[in-house]
Structure 1
Amino acid sequence: MGGPTVEDLRERVRGVVVTPADEGYEEARRVYNGMVDRRPAVVVRVANAGDVIAAVDHARENGLDLAVRGGAHSAPGFGTCDDGLVIDFSGLHGVRIDPERRTARCEGGVTWGDLNAAGYAFGLGVTGGIISTTGIAGLTLNGGFGHLARGMGLSCDNLISADVVTADGRFHTVSAEQEPELFWALRGGGGNFGAVTSFEYRLSPVKDVIAGPMVFELEYAGDVLRFYREFIQDAPEQLGLFPGFHIAPPLPFVPEDRVGDNFILLVPCWSGPPAEAEKVLAPLRDAAPMLAEGVGPVPYPAFGAAFDPLLPPGLQQYWKGLFAGELTDGAIAAHLEYGRLVPTVNSGVHIYPINGACHRVPADGTAFAYRDATFATVIAGVWPDPADNAANTSWVRDYYAALAPHSEAGGYIGFMDHDDQHRIQDNYRGNYDRLAQAKRRYDPGNLFHLNQNIKPGTAA
């Protein structure tokens, strides 16, 4: 006998089941990266945890590939598949803030824009992504850093509990006290261990911030990077700060005749007392002669969405990521060579700091292992025209190859692409074997394999 049919699945779920024969299939199968063009057999737009259980059961019992989609931002397109089943959380955006406990309970399809906006009313927030349309699920399960990481730690460091459906269709609520090994694995182990239906976060005070880009000519890029590597070591932890290479879009503070030119930026986000901002930011303004500045007071949710216009859905994307303990002279030389070649206004290279509070968690405290790294670099190739795929993909690969000798063997799994599976063990260092054992316990058949995949370990 065969497994349950799609009609059986429709009867089990409250949400919407979409197949190639249904209206809306073309929209349902799309993901954020326009380079990814796959045709799943069925997309389940889940309405609750029961729907997730039904979808997992259906995939397992029919031997289907299973993809899990939150914000759909996965650069390799792991949120979809050919001929398999997609669990789509995009309709679940509920956020409940408890201002007394300073916590947030979020459904699996919540984006950072949703959470930032909900927390803002209470003057509370948590470390989230640089793009507000990113899903909280993927970012948190990968580790998660952004403007607030130096003061608050990684997104996964602020996770209190999670509800997750594992490969056998069982529903688990996990925390430091309840199924602690699965909770440990979820905090940095990616989507390897199940489909997370809700996340509970610890929140911290944040409301309006002093933030925005500082724009410097490329001729000063070396000075800016050398300043940054020293300054960020002991800068106040309420200061988020990263340098980046970008082509200038048409913004009010950018001279009109310089729009379209390539620059190096410093992007500060001060979440401390506003009266201290000028003192904290003054050294940045002295790093090199500045062309333009867009720094000012802004609601944190608005700044969290500041880069969104550069990254609408449907663009071609190819990414690479690296960790480094130091920003060496050799790494700076590689940045100077390739940073000036950023190919489109949508592309960019950022060097995020992951020190401060991120370093106060032991390397084996969560699955995220690189607690001694200070810098996480992303080379984000993003462009509109598929005709440019070969040239722009080569730019990303060449840039990565130049930085790799000056970096750790592993990188952030959220910045990995489809051809980075060979780096999995390096990405997890000494935590890999423990993760493989957790995988063996919770997903021995590797149902959740459309990810930066951790293979189930052998018997201990």
Structure 2
Amino acid sequence: MQRRELLKAALALPLLPLAVRTAQALPAGLAGGLRARIRPGQPGWPAPAEWDSLRRAVGGRLLQPVSPFAGCGAGSAACAQALKELSNPFAVGDNPALTQTSGWADAWASQPSAYAVAAESAADVAAAVDFARRHRLRLVVKGGGHSYQGTSDAPDSLLVWTRRMNRVTLHEQFVPQGCAGRAAPMPAVSVQAGAMWIDAYDAVTTRGGRYVQGGGCTTVGVAGLVQSGGFGNFSKNFGTAASNLLEAEVVTADGVVRTVNACKDPELFWGLKGGGGGSLGVVTRLTLRTFELPPFFGAAFGKIKADSPQAYRALVAKAMAFYTDRLFNRHWGEQMSFRDGDTLGISMVFQGLTRQEAEQAWAPFVAWVKARDDCRFVEPLQILAVPAQHFWDAAYFRKHAPGVMVADDRPGAPPHHALWEGDQEQVGWFIHAYQSAWLPASLLRPGQQERLVDALVAASQHWGFALHFNKGLGGGATDAIERTRDTATNPQVLDAFALVISGSGGAPAYPGMPGPGPDLAKARQHAAKVDKAMDALRALAPDAGSYVSESDYFLRDWQQRFWGVNYPRLLRAKRHYDPEGLFFVHHGVGSEGWSEDGFRRAV
């Protein structure tokens, strides 16, 4: 598939009929309302006095973000400091001009907004939304800033920056507003939109002794993950983050602060559960159910190399049969990776088991590998377990396993702010390609496993990829599957045994950084190889859906891939709560009615 060569045709021709049909179906207020957004220098751009009025409305918290790399040619101190901190995602996130991803080849580059409201309350957010609506501005929302699709920033826009809204509150018995007598009280946690998952885990697990289903990367924003569906290490047992949403506070396009749940504005509430961030409103607070902690969380790590193509196929076949027999259940998550046509990587986690039980589960596979003379462990299988309450406890790891978690090393940083060492490579990275697809559990059946193995081996000859078992709920707990069924996420996730992900990226490449910049020729070569690998895997499931947060920027039929049969319902909610199309993100609900940059109506 020559995606890059056909990019213009792919973006224009296939989407034109859909855009026309969508525009024809829009209610009068949307089709005849906002036609274009205003850029700086154009007639209608707010005058300085108008910006001053917004500044007063938000308590002086109106900023004009400037990239620290803008003055790198002059050898600025800001540039030097920013370069020094590029391995620290907490520092990157604390700068309103930066995003955790620096760009995507032939797609977008991280550029700061013209203005930003450093919101500290829902009232600040409402003021920004009102201002953007009245002045026809491009509005952007950023909490964690991890969007691979570039939805966390946009030049010439007004940014709602929620980073300072990071309060976390525990509840012993929570009942959503308006649901008294209709919903049983339950333990929960309320998290403001700017909080990261490490903030939630510290409060709920490390100090509170309970569990909240969140993301694996600790610096990801809570609000963004929930709105995209949200997978974590143990989703097969606890469900998606969206499935555990009990209530949300959200500012809609009319500037109204709403508290929504299953009893109040239920369609908007449902849309926030996996409908994608930034399309239906600006979430300011989320309340999620919490769970009793199992005694232990643990992990299994190792790497196996085969000596020949025949040995590699045998290894992959054994790995899939072993996974089906021993690991395809609510206890296991994370991934197996397939690299270089001869290497199998193991990086998995477990819950609800002891270390001894986990070792027993893996024993037959380890024995099989050791009995062969044509493949071997190049990294011995290690199985570790820690008390579950310490799984995100930075102080615990500093004492017992230094280096596993990396702390925010800036003076005055909260002591719990740390990330997994393996996630550092994502900080500021420049994406060459990134694709995902859900693989149905039917492929694990005896009559289908051979097809699965053939495709895995064939794909690995083109480019590496991984099966993320926790990002498919097949084989998981029944209650987790049922809760996730009542979300906007593509229903394919319910029966998928894994989400396959293949991608490539390079060093940070923020505009203005010193150095040669991204190697676009290399990026395009890598993207073509990712295409070929994913083509081999999609042959197993031609209609496979894709996860909103981890998907191809150039995906053509994104409405069907992201949401399947749920998209029409999401679009109805969009039309009801945002009839003028104030909220826009790339490949977000209703975005087919706009130009690629979100500034002009497509028709």
TM-score (norm 2): 0.66
- Residue range with higher mean Cα deviation, 199-208 or 68-77: 199-208
Aligned to 1:264: 344
RMSD (CA atoms) = 3.1
Q: Does residue 6 in structure 1 map to residue 51 in structure 2?
A: yes
Superposition deviation, residue 189 in structure 1: 0.5
Superposed counterparts of 1:60-209, under 5 Å: 60-99=133-172, 101-120=186-205, 121-191=207-277, 192-206=279-293, 208-209=296-297
The 3 A distance-change label for structure 1 pair 6 and 118 is same
- The 3 A distance-change label for structure 1 pair 114 and 449 is same
User: Aligned residue for 2:505?
Assistant: 382
1:357 alignment counterpart? 477
CA contact (8 A) 1:139 1:155 kept: yes
Secondary structure at 2:589 match in 1: coil
- Name which structure has the greater RCO, CA cutoff 8 Å, separation 6+: 2
Matched position secondary structure for 2:477: helix
Determine the structure 1 residue equivalent to 2:539. 405
In structure 2, do the counterparts of structure 1 residues 229 and 398 end up closer, same or farther at CA, with 3 Å as the change threshold? Answer: same
Q: 1:21 to 1:132 in 2, by over 3 A?
A: closer
Q: Describe how 1:224-263 pairs up with structure 2 within 5 A.
A: 224-227=318-321, 230-231=324-325, 234-235=328-329, 237-245=330-338, 263=343
Alpha carbons of structure 1 residues 409 and 444: separation in structure 2 relative to 1, 3 Å: farther
Within the alignment, does 1:315 sit opposite 2:432 as a pair? no
Match of 2:567 in 1: 432
Other-structure match for 1:255: none
Structure 2 distance, partners of 1:314, 1:116, is 24
Does structure 2 conserve the Cα–Cα contact (< 8 Å) formed by 1:350 and 1:377?
A: yes
Aligned mate of 1:279, from 360, 373, 377 = 360
Alpha-carbon deviation of 1:216?
1.9
Identity of aligned residues (%): 25
The gaps in structure 1 that reach 5 residues or longer are 248-260
Q: Distance in 2 between matches of 1:294 and 1:383?
A: 29
Distance in 2 (alpha carbons) for counterparts of 1:117 and 1:339: 38
3-state SS in 2 of match to 1:172: strand
Q: Is the 8 A contact 1:184 1:366 kept in 2?
A: yes
Where does structure 2 lack aligned partners over 5 or more consecutive residues? 1-43, 72-94, 104-108, 174-185, 307-311, 371-376, 394-403, 406-418, 444-448, 509-517, 594-603
**Residue type at the aligned position of 2:246:** I
> What is the identity, as a one-letter code, of the residue corresponding to 2:456?
H
Q: Distance in 1 between matches of 2:199 and 2:141?
A: 19
Answer whether contact 2:459 2:534 (CA < 8 A) is retained: no
- Give 1:33's aligned residue: 101
Q: 1:310 Cα deviation (Å)?
A: 4.1
* Structure 1 equivalent of residue 121 of structure 2: 48
Amino acid at match of 1:231: D
Higher alpha-carbon deviation: 34-43 or 57-66: 34-43
Query: Aligned AA for 2:100?
Result: Y
Tell me the distance in 1 between the aligned counterparts of 2:345 and 2:67.
Answer: 47
Alignment: residue pair count: 440
What TM-score does the superposition give when structure 1 sets the normalisation length? 0.85
- Partner Cα separation in structure 2 for residue 361 and residue 9 of structure 1: 44
| Secondary structure in 2 matching 1:74 | coil
Q: Answer yes or no: is the 8 Å Cα contact 2:65–2:116 preserved in 1.
A: no
Contact 1:38 1:80 in 2 (8 A): yes
Distance 1:161 1:58, change over 3 A: same
Inter-CA distance 230–357: structure 2 relative to 1 (3 Å threshold): same
Task: Give the conservation status (yes or no) of the 8 Å contact 2:193–2:283.
Answer: yes
In structure 1, what is the Cα distance between the partners aligned to 2:556 and 2:582? 17
**Larger Rg: 1 or 2?**
2
Contact 2:271/2:487 (8 A) holds in 1: yes
Cα distance in 2 for partners of 1:400, 1:200 equals 37
Indicate if the aligned counterparts of 1:15 and 1:45 stay in contact, CA closer than 8 A: no
Structure 1 residue identity aligned to 2:468: I
SS of the aligned residue for 1:213 comes to strand
Equivalent residue letter for 1:55: A
- Aligned partners of 2:243 and 2:484 also within 8 Å: no
